[in-house]
Amino acid sequence: MSGRLLPRRNAAIAFILVTALLDVMSMGIVIPVLPQLIETLSGSSSGAGLWNGLFVALWAGMQFVCSPIIGSLSDRFGRRPVILISICGLMLDYVLMALAPNLWWLAVGRLLAGVTSSSFTSVFAYMADITAPEDRARGYGLIGAAFSAGFVAGPLLGGILGEVSLRAPFWVAAGMSALAFIYGVFVLPESLPPEKRMAFSWRRANPFGALTLLRSHRELSGLAVVNFLLYFAHHLFSAVFVLYAGDRYGWGAWQVGSLLALVGLLDMGVQGLLVGPVVQRIGDRRTMVIGLAFGAIGIACMGLAPTGWMFVAAMLPNALWGLAMPTIQSLMTRRVSESEQGQLQGANNSVASIAGIVSPLFFGGVYALSVGADPTLPFIGSAFLIAAAVLGGAALLGWLAGRRDSSDGRLLLDNDAVGH
């Protein structure tokens, strides 16, 4: 397993990347039209805002509950059946939402979307199965690049399809999921041998039980906190970016959409091209810390930028933030056994879901206090500066979260993390 991705697994790796791309594209396609469809079904713009917030909470809540279950099921029955069933479920979910006659049916669709999207836990576990520990950061970087490509292409395609019909993006998303399912049936091999599987247990599969895994080793606990802080800071953009861009720089939908596409392209380049070479040169942990540090610098510059062009320029150092996510994942996978990779990814996804619920509320509140005729916080970029401080703290904690072998500088693994 040393030095490269495992031989004769190219088809499996390609499938995982195609699956990630199609899944994220199918999610991104509906982003431009879902609020409009909600408004059409509710018959009220104010009611649409409430329903849209509820749908976001439903999706994140189901991710929190179901990610550990999906991950544990993949530890018990293997990655292949769980991934394929999840993709099939996602396809049926998009068909349901395309046909939804009212908001209640659409709410059921968002609940199912939260469940089936939890297959990402199995995708990350699959990559851990088929890559050597020293190559996992590169593998996760490729998945991250596929995610970024999906987030660039999906909303753009959804916007075009939405001009035809508000239902059209849902049908195309269902078609993409169907394509991924058919491709997987014929291409995807199983990555977890039967002798390395773990019996399913509700004690481990429930979200709170899964989180106990993150407390099983001191270094793993520290990395889990770093992971939470990273997601917490990242949701700054979903919470306030559009409002901030309009209020401070006067940007409209076209400028915001173009900038988001540029962000996706930069992230795709960093995770797809830079992660592997940088990790080979300086190691996972240093790469993670550098990524978090540059993310903090970039966000701080965004908050301080007096002009739109300076904000765009700050995206360049901020793009190196993409070095952090794959390396955090890589470091965490080294601290659990092969039979616990699914449970680990489920726990990580639950942590991300908690951040996804709490962070937008927090940063939305901070932004509300920093705008208006008589703001409580005198600086409109306060939310960005707070997010930068969060990432700076994550970088410091990430540096302290691992132990290093003084003889050769490699990351030490606890014996109980690889041998039980």
When mean pLDDT is compared across 160-164, 214-218, 354-358, 409-413, the lowest value belongs to: 409-413
| Res. 414: pLDDT tops 70 | no
DSSP 39-71: HHHHT-HHHHHHHHHHHHHHHHHHHHHHHHHHH
For residue 409, what pLDDT is reported?
A: 38
Between 98 and 261, name the one with better pLDDT. 98
End-to-end alpha carbon distance in the chain: 20
Average of per-residue pLDDT values in the chain? 79
For residue 205, what pLDDT is reported?
A: 67
Q: What count of other Cβ atoms lies within 10 Å of the Cβ of residue 163? A: 10
How many CA atoms lie less than 13 Å away from 410 in the CB half-sphere?
A: 8
| Res. 51: pLDDT tops 80 | no
Mean pLDDT of 36-65: 70
Mean pLDDT of 17-46: 73
For residue 311, what pLDDT is reported?
A: 93
Distances from the Cα of 15 to the Cαs of 144, 180, 269, in angstroms?
Answer: 14, 8, 20
384-400 per-position pLDDT tens digit? 999 999 999 999 998 88
Provide the phi-psi class of 2: left if phi over 0, else alpha when psi is between -120 and 50, else beta.
beta
For residue 47, what pLDDT is reported?
A: 59
d(CA 114, CA 121): 12
d(CA 148, CA 271): 9
For residue 296, what pLDDT is reported?
A: 96
Mean pLDDT of 139-150: 80
Polymer length of the chain: 420
Cα pseudo-dihedral 399, 400, 406, 408, rounded to 10: -30
Distances from the Cα of 225 to the Cαs of 91, 199, 391, in angstroms?
Answer: 34, 28, 11
For residue 372, what pLDDT is reported?
A: 75
For residue 158, what pLDDT is reported?
A: 79
Residue 266 CB contacts under 8 Å (≥ 6 apart), including other chains: 315, 316, 319, 322
DSSP 81-121: HHHHHHHHHHHHHHHHHHH--SHHHHHHHHHHHHHHGGGHH
- Angle at 349 (CA atoms; ends 211, 93), nearest 5 degrees: 130
pTM given for the model = 0.70
Mean pLDDT of 32-45: 72
Instruction: Band the pLDDT of 56: cuts 50, 70, 90.
Output: low
| Res. 193: pLDDT tops 80 | yes
For residue 53, what pLDDT is reported?
A: 60
d(CA 120, CA 124): 6
**Position of tokens 């050597």?**
132
359-384 per-position pLDDT tens digit? 877 888 888 888 877 878 888 889 99
291-333 per-position pLDDT tens digit? 999 999 999 999 999 999 999 999 999 999 989 988 988 888 8
| Amino acid making up residue 44 | S
For residue 410, what pLDDT is reported?
A: 40
Distances from the Cα of 191 to the Cαs of 16, 74, 195, 284, 287, in angstroms?
Answer: 11, 10, 12, 24, 28
Percent of the chain with pLDDT over 70: 86
| Res. 213: pLDDT tops 50 | yes
Mean pLDDT of 36-63: 69
